[in-house]
């Protein structure tokens, strides 16, 4: 097992396709959405689970606690579901400071309150010193779908507009800077935040949302590639229209990273019909978390499964899925 | 963002491309030496903006790519030594050795860490006196001053648990190797701006004269590259072969003298094998006698045997600009970033990685911007 198997790029996808899907394949799992959409007693529910292993546990803009809650809330939101119930399991390492745990748990509570999701069940395990990394958090969530829209990659159509909900790369860079002890003049804060409010507003605003995807591990590139592949469409985005803050751009330049591959924890891509795109953008921009939203591109019929990036100087290139992890370069 | 945006400005890019189009009358082949420049070219689609007369070929300037497989094997063996913390720039970790990469060694339990500066490795050595800290000192002249600096510093501090595995290479001998190849079709060189920040361009003047090729020291942004190409075309069209400097904001003729002095203090020039290319005389650096105690190559008695190179990989041809990545039958099929046969597929300065990542392999499928709407 290599670290890249958990990187959210090509290696992760291969693991899913070659090991997990053959074992568990079913109609729900095979949609490969951020969460599963299931029927239960006449209701349409979304169900999702996620593990969090971030290091450092506390970073500018958040900690593993609010990250875990927001991550699951957002996976539900990407299914168009109102987050309702949350479970969490903590795997703690012997010797872990009680005060840090207190802080993490408090952050989880504040994040859950903010997203109006109720933590209704949990589990705690402690492992020997050296067998964990402080604390690992897993969360699962249930949400309810209260509208008739089918928000799934299969609903994406050529001509759809691709809206990016805000500036990219904050979370990945914030964590990297703390982890590596890199200091920049303007510190970058994680964008971790719940996304249900803008999604609900889009749906209630009558936007025929075709697909939503949060831009977590593997960043914008992985999200667009996954959707292009499963919807068998092309996606074309314009570099000049993809929002990235100067601080993140500068950090990426220095470190030799590409912001389109860097993880976000409070950003998503929305695929909406072209003629509703401007209105969708207005709705989204009404929320602080989406203030920087922009129409970054559109869906094309071909080349199927390929994401093309139009560079700022007018050249074209493929925006491929990440192979392995992004590594800082020599010079 | 200052020093970036103005060199990616679409209007300036168009103006520079237009100037090249006006100037060119005949076909010319230009080699960009540095892999960082290759990545800019492929990533921004720069080649699309050039007139058909101008062909860019990619050069040997990827230090990770030219590090011999024996040395990778040695690095892996040292990393697997108990008590060793093996530090490296990120690029090097995925490069395939005979059977393992440093990433594989890490998965096998080796303590392999990515550092951003050799000084971070030195700090690790200070903070872990009971561990041996080894730094993989890779690079062209660009990284040599900092790598020399840590050895110099370690000697001054008497830090005996620190050592470097040296894999340094030099640009001028590589240019001569390219020019001496019977198949060489390079008419002019885009020299690597960062290398020249350290070394200046005096050492390129005899090469330009001897081989009759113009050389232009060039930066790394799209405007830089187009201006560098324009300066080369201007010389070529008028039959000149001089050294020019496009990267005026960073490079002077004499380079950075204190940095050069530090390199000369710690390193001496030696013969070096280049992966895929072969032995090039006086093309590498090794530690001087006085600093040998910090040489991981001698400190760790690792036996590297069964050195094996992929028979299919044409990295050597790619690195000399004789073949393009897509001309390799294994490209994108048996050789991908997850299953690399050679280093250029995994280095962030490797030409194969650039073509794979930025998708020249599917270029024929990519619709032009104008034909879409």
Q: To probe the interface with B, which of A1, A183, A257, A313 has the most B CB atoms within 10 Å?
A: A313
B255-275 burial by CB neighbour count: b if 16+ within 10 A, else e?
bbeebbebbeebbebeebbbb
Checking if the pLDDT of A55 tops 90, the result is no
Please, which pLDDT band fits residue A8 given cuts at 50, 70 and 90? confident
B312-327 mean pLDDT: 92
pLDDT in tens, B45-68: 898 899 999 999 999 999 999 999
pLDDT given at position A47 = 98
Does any domain span residue B98? no
Would strands B111-114 and A82-93 be described as parallel, antiparallel, or unpaired? unpaired
**Residue B207 pLDDT class (50, 70, 90 cuts):** very high
Does residue B301 or residue A108 have the better pLDDT? Answer: A108
B239 CA: distance to closest CA in chain A (Å): 31
Please report whether residue B125 resides in a domain.
no
Chain A residues with CB under 8 Å of B140 CB are 331
pLDDT digits (tens, 9 = 90+) for A197-224: 999 999 999 999 999 999 998 899 999 9
Look at the alpha carbons of B103, B349, B253, B213 in this order and tell me if their dihedral is positive or negative: positive
C-alpha to C-alpha distance for B2 and A252, rounded to whole angstroms: 14
* Topology of the domain covering A153-318: Phosphoribosyl-aminoimidazole Synthetase; Chain A, domain 2 (3.90.650)
Per-residue model confidence (pLDDT) at position B369: 38
Q: Do the chains contact at A317 and B372, CB–CB below 8 Å?
A: no
pLDDT tens per residue, range B118-159: 999 999 999 999 999 999 999 999 999 999 999 999 999 999
Q: Any CB–CB contact under 8 A between B323 and chain A? A: no
What residues in B contact A253, CB-CB < 8 Å?
A: 1, 4
Facing residue for A329 by CB, picked from B47, B90, B222 = B90
B48: nearest CA partner in chain A: A315
Query: Per the structure block, which two tokens stand in for B279?
Result: 């032995």
**What is the tens place of the pLDDT at every residue in B336-367?**
988 899 999 999 889 999 998 887 544 434 44
CA A263 to CA A217: how far, in whole Å? Answer: 5
Nearest-angstrom CA–CA distance, A57 and A222: 25
Comparing CB atoms, the residue among B64, B338, B372 nearest residue A323 is B338
Instruction: Give the structural domain span for B226.
Output: 5-21+28-57+183-245
| Residue B288 confidence class, pLDDT cut points 50, 70, 90 | very high
CB atoms closer than 10 angstroms to residue B29? 16
CA distance B219 to chain A (A): 13
Cβ of B301 under 8 Å from any chain A Cβ?
A: no
CB contacts under 8 A, A 242-271 vs B, are 246, 249-250, 253, 255-256
Q: Contact B91/A253, CB-based, under 8 Å?
A: no
Q: Binning pLDDT at 50, 70 and 90, where does residue B116 land?
A: confident
Q: How far is CA A178 from CA A171, A247, B123, in A?
A: 11, 15, 17
Distance (Å, whole) CA B191 – CA B199: 12
* Structure token pair of residue B269: 């020039």
DSSP string, A2-37: -GGGGSSSHHHHHHIIIIIHHHH--TTGGG--SSEE
Give the pLDDT score at B215.
98
How many cross-chain Cβ pairs, A to B, lie less than 8 Å apart?
129
Superfamily grouping for domain A32-144: PurM-like, N-terminal domain (3.30.1330.10)
Separation between Cα atoms, residue B305 and residue B98, nearest integer Å: 9
Name the residue with higher pLDDT: A326 or A202: A202
Let me know if residue B240 belongs to a domain. Answer: yes
Question: Tell me: the pLDDT tens digits for A209-267?
Answer: 999 999 998 899 999 999 999 999 999 999 999 999 999 998 898 888 899 999 999 99
The answer to whether B136 and B97 are in contact (CB under 8 A) is: no
CA distances from B128 to A131, B78, B113, B122, B291 (A): 21, 17, 14, 10, 21
Q: Which residue has the tokens 């101008």?
A: B54
Q: Is A331 on the interface with B (CB under 8 A)?
A: yes
Bridging pattern class, strands A316-318 and A307-310? antiparallel
Mean pLDDT of B9-24: 95
Q: What confidence category does residue B370 fall into, taking pLDDT thresholds of 50, 70 and 90?
A: very low
Q: Is residue B253 part of a domain?
A: no
- B-chain CB neighbours of A55 within 8 Å are none
Question: What percent of chain B has a predicted confidence (pLDDT) above 70?
Answer: 96
Question: pLDDT: is B370 or B204 the higher one?
Answer: B204
Contacts of A330 in chain B (CB under 8 A): 63-64, 89, 91-92, 138-139, 143, 348-349
User: pLDDT digits over A161-203, tens only?
Assistant: 999 999 999 999 999 888 777 777 678 999 999 999 999 999 9
Give me the residue spans of the domains in chain A: 32-144, 153-318
- Name A112's Cβ contacts closer than 8 Å, sequence gap at least 6: A69, A86, A118, A119
**A3 inside 8 A of chain B by CB:** yes
Q: Residue A4 and residue A151: Cα distance in Å, rounded?
A: 29
- Closest-CA distance, B351 to chain A, in angstroms, reads 14
Asked if A320 and A221 count as a contact pair (C-beta separation under 8 A), the reply is yes
How confident is the model at residue B360, as a pLDDT? 52
Q: What share of chain A in percent tops pLDDT 70?
A: 98
The shortest C-alpha distance from B40 to chain A (Å) reads: 11
- Give B-chain residues touching A158 at CB under 8 angstroms: none
B91/A180 Cβ within 8 A = no
| Of B44, B114, B139, Cβ closest to residue A331 | B139
Percent of chain A surpassing pLDDT 90: 80
What pLDDT is recorded for position B91? 85
Q: Where does the pLDDT of residue A109 fall: very low under 50, low under 70, confident under 90, or very high at 90 and above?
A: very high
Between CA A51 and CA A88 the distance in angstroms is: 10
Look at A147-156, B256-265, B303-312 and tell me which has the smallest mean pLDDT: B303-312
Select the more confidently predicted residue: B47 or B193.
Answer: B193
Nearest CA to B342 out of B10, B22, B53, B68 is that of B68
Is position B10 within any domain? yes
Q: How far is CA B362 from CA A121, A315, B365, in A?
A: 49, 14, 5
pLDDT score at B365: 40
Largest distance between two CA atoms of chain A? 59
**Cβ-nearest to A327 among B8, B114, B138:** B114
**From CA B302, how far away is CA B296, in angstroms rounded?**
10
**Pick from A310-319, B44-53, B277-286: least confident:** A310-319
| A331 chain-B contacts, CB cut-off 8 A | 36, 139-140, 142-143, 194
User: B348 vs A329: CB contact, 8 Å cut-off?
Assistant: yes
Residue B34 domain-assigned? yes
**Cβ density class B187-209: b for 16+ within 10 Å, e for less:** bbbbbbbbbbbbbbbebbeebbe
Q: What is the mean pLDDT of residues B91-98?
A: 92
Between A306, A312, A330, which is nearest B362 by CB?
A306
Which pLDDT band holds residue A330 (cuts at 50, 70, 90)?
A: low
Identify the CATH number of the domain in which residue B214 sits.
3.40.50.11750
What pLDDT does B187 receive? 97
Compute the distance between CA of residue A150 and CA of residue A156 in angstroms, rounded to an integer.
Answer: 10
Model pLDDT, residue A331: 59
Total domains, chain B: 1
Average pLDDT, whole number, for chain A?
93
- Confidence (pLDDT) at A329: 66
**CA–CA gap between residue A194 and residue A143 (Å, rounded):** 14
Reported as a single tens digit per residue, the pLDDT across B295-313 is: 999 999 888 888 888 889 9
Q: For B326-339, what is each residue's pLDDT tens digit?
A: 899 999 999 998 88
- Maximal C-alpha separation, chain B: 67
What pLDDT digit, counting tens, does each position of B215-256 carry?
Answer: 999 999 999 999 999 999 999 999 999 999 999 999 999 999
pLDDT band at B199 (very low <50, low <70, confident <90, very high): very high
The shortest CB-CB distance from B49 to any of A315, A328, A330 is to A315
The percent of residues in chain B predicted with pLDDT above 90, rounded, is: 84
């Amino acid at each position: 097992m290599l670290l890249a198997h958990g990187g959210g790029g090509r290696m992760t996808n291969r693991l899913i396709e070659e090991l997990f899907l053959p074992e568990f394949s079913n109609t729900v799992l095979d949609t490969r959405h951020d969460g599963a959409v299931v029927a239960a007693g006449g209701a349409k529910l979304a169900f999702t689970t996620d593990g969090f292993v971030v290091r450092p546990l506390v970073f500018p803009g958040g900690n593993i606690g609010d990250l875990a809650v927001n991550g699951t809330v957002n996976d539900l939101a990407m299914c168009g579901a109102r987050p309702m119930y949350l479970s969490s399991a903590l795997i703690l390492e012997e010797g872990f400071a009680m005060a840090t745990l207190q802080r993490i748990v408090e952050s989880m509570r504040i994040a859950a309150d903010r997203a109006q999701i109720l933590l209704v069940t949990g589990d705690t395990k402690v492992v020997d010193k050296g067998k964990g990394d402080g604390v690992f958090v897993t969360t699962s969530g249930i949400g309810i779908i209260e509208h008739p829209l089918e928000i799934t990659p299969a609903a994406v159509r050529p001509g759809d507009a691709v809206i990016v909900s805000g500036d990219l790369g904050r979370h990945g860079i914030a964590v990297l800077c703390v982890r590596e002890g890199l200091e920049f003049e303007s510190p970058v804060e994680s964008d971790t935040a719940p996304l249900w409010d803008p999604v609900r507003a889009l749906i209630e605003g009558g936007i025929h949302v075709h697909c939503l995807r949060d831009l977590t591990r593997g960043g914008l590139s992985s999200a667009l590639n996954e959707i292009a592949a499963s919807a068998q469409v092309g996606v074309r985005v314009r570099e000049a229209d993809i929002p990235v803050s100067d601080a993140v751009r500068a950090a990426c330049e220095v470190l030799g990273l590409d912001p389109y591959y860097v993880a976000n924890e409070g950003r998503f891509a929305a695929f909406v019909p072209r003629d509703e795109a401007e209105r969708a953008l207005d709705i989204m921009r009404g929320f602080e978390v989406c203030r920087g939203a922009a129409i970054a591109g559109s869906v094309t019929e071909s080349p199927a499964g390929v994401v093309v990036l139009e560079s700022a100087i007018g050249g074209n290139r493929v925006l491929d899925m990440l192979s392995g992890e992004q590594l800082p370069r020599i010079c | 963002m200052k020093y970036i945006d103005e060199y990616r400005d679409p209007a300036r890019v168009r103006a520079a491309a237009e100037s090249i189009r006006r100037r060119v009358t005949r076909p010319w082949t230009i080699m960009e030496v540095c892999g960082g420049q290759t990545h800019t070219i492929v990533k921004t689609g720069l080649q699309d903006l050039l007139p058909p007369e101008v062909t860019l070929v990619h050069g040997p300037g990827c230090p990770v790519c030219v590090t011999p497989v024996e040395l990778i094997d040695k690095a892996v063996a040292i990393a697997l030594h108990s008590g060793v913390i093996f530090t490296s720039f990120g690029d090097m970790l995925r490069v395939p050795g005979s059977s393992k990469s440093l990433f594989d060694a890490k998965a096998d339990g080796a303590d392999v860490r990515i550092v951003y500066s050799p000084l971070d490795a030195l700090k690790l050595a200070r903070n872990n006196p009971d561990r041996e800290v080894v730094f993989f000192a890779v690079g062209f002249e660009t990284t040599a001053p900092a790598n020399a600096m840590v050895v110099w510093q370690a000697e001054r501090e008497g830090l005996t648990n620190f050592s470097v595995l040296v894999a340094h290479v030099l640009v001028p001998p590589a240019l001569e190797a390219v020019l001496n190849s019977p198949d060489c079709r390079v008419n002019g060189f885009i020299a690597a701006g960062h290398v020249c920040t350290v070394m200046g361009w005096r050492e390129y003047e005899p090469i330009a004269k001897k081989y009759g090729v113009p050389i232009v020291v060039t930066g790394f942004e799209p405007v830089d590259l187009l201006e560098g190409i324009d300066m080369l075309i201007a010389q070529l069209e008028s039959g000149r072969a001089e050294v020019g400097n496009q990267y005026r904001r960073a490079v002077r003729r004499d380079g950075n003298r204190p940095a050069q002095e530090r390199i000369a203090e710690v390193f001496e020039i030696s013969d070096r094998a280049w992966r895929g290319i072969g032995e090039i005389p006086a093309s590498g650096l090794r530690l001087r006698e006085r600093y040998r105690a910090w040489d991981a190559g001698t400190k760790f008695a690792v036996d590297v045997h069964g050195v094996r190179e992929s028979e299919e990989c044409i990295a050597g041809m790619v690195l000399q600009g004789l073949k393009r990545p897509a001309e390799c039958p294994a490209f994108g099929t048996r050789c991908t970033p997850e299953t690399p046969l050679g280093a250029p597929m995994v280095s962030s300065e490797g030409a194969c990685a650039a073509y794979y990542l930025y998708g020249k392999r599917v270029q024929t499928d990519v619709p032009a911007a104008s034909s879409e709407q």
